[in-house]
Amino acid sequence: MLTTFKIADHKVVKLAECVDVPKIMIIYGQNGVGKSTLLHALKTSLEENDGKNNIIFVGDLARPEYASGTDHSDDPTSPIISFLSRLEKVRRNIIATSSSLRDNATASHVYEPLDRLLSELLPHLKFERVDKGDNLVPRSVFSRVHNSDAGTEVGLDQLTSAEVDVMCLFLPILDHQIQRKLTGPSEMGSKSNCRDTVVLMDSPSPFLSHDLQSRLLEYLRATVEEDGNIQFIIVTGSPALIDKATAEELFMLMPPDRPVGSVNQLVKASDMNMCLTPI
């Protein structure tokens, strides 16, 4: 788990230091102050100097890191197809080689992190199953659970672009959660899964409606409560996220010519005698 960091003299960021990084850290500030620069510098620093943590970077959906090694077609659902197909293969392999009730329980709960994500951020949508059939590409089936469409089954190609964006955004986190659930050797498992995981999120708000932005922190808090080995550091300009954050979670990145109290540009909300709304 990341407990402290210091980024100095990196482009517009002259000094951003935190000596007590919380499990959920929300960094905000005015446009151009260097929020994304800080996050990318932190990512580079962790990758170069930290061997204790898994690093997950959630950024530009046009180039999702999770999809590396997958089919980079023009189909925006291809990362989800790859993920669910791989997950279904793992689930069926567990069942086929099952030797205990524990194995059966693991197989039945493989999709729980996806179910939780949908219930929190896309509550009108429910994952049903993966149909293999005779197709080379298995068909992932969801259902609508609200309004006049309740009970209607839909495929990935029938989901809205917003629904696809939300799932793509969180695929790396879902993968982490599912790997934690799996026991014994599997194609999704890795010794690195025993390490803590630091998730760096760059401005997730453009992919989430205002309502979902408000629900995001609750989802992240529930994730941290369930898995004490995961940490989130998010840079954002979303008023919905900022308003929902506690004083312990919220930090403001000040312009380098306007530090508060010291040369450190990164100021904890609980230490600030000012309004916590974004500039």
Of 103-107, 173-177, 219-223, 256-260, highest mean pLDDT: 219-223
What is residue 252's predicted lDDT score, i.e. its pLDDT? 95
* One domain for residues 39 and 94: no
Which pair of tokens denotes residue 117?
A: 């994500």
Residue 96: inside a domain: yes
What total of structural domains would you count in the chain? 2
Q: Is pLDDT above 80 for 188? A: no
**Percent of residues, the chain, with pLDDT higher than 70:** 80
What is residue 203's predicted lDDT score, i.e. its pLDDT? 86
* One domain for residues 98 and 185: yes
Q: What CATH number is attached to the domain comprising 278?
A: 3.40.50
Residue 62: inside a domain: no
Q: In sequence order, what are the residues at sequence separation of 6 or more whose Cβ sits closer than 8 angstroms to the Cβ of residue 61?
A: 165, 168, 169, 207
* One domain for residues 23 and 83: no
Q: Which domain holds residue 96?
A: 76-160+169-189
What is residue 132's predicted lDDT score, i.e. its pLDDT? 72
Range scoring the smallest mean pLDDT among 15-29, 124-138, 156-170: 124-138
Q: Is 251 exposed, middle or buried (0-12, 13-18, 19+ CB in 10 A)?
A: buried
Q: Is pLDDT above 90 for 242? A: yes
Residue 60: inside a domain: no
What average pLDDT does this structure show over 192-207? 79
pLDDT tens-digit series, residues 141-180: 999 987 677 778 999 999 998 899 889 989 989 988 888 7
* One domain for residues 82 and 179: yes
What is residue 100's predicted lDDT score, i.e. its pLDDT? 63
How far is Cα 225 from Cα 219, in angstroms, rounded to an integer?
10
**Phi, psi torsion values for 53, nearest 5 degrees:** -120, 145
Q: pTM to 2 decimals?
A: 0.82
Give the CA-trace dihedral at 251, 116, 207, 72, to 10 degrees.
120
* One domain for residues 184 and 85: yes
* One domain for residues 215 and 251: yes
Residue 58: inside a domain: no
Residue 139: what residue type?
R
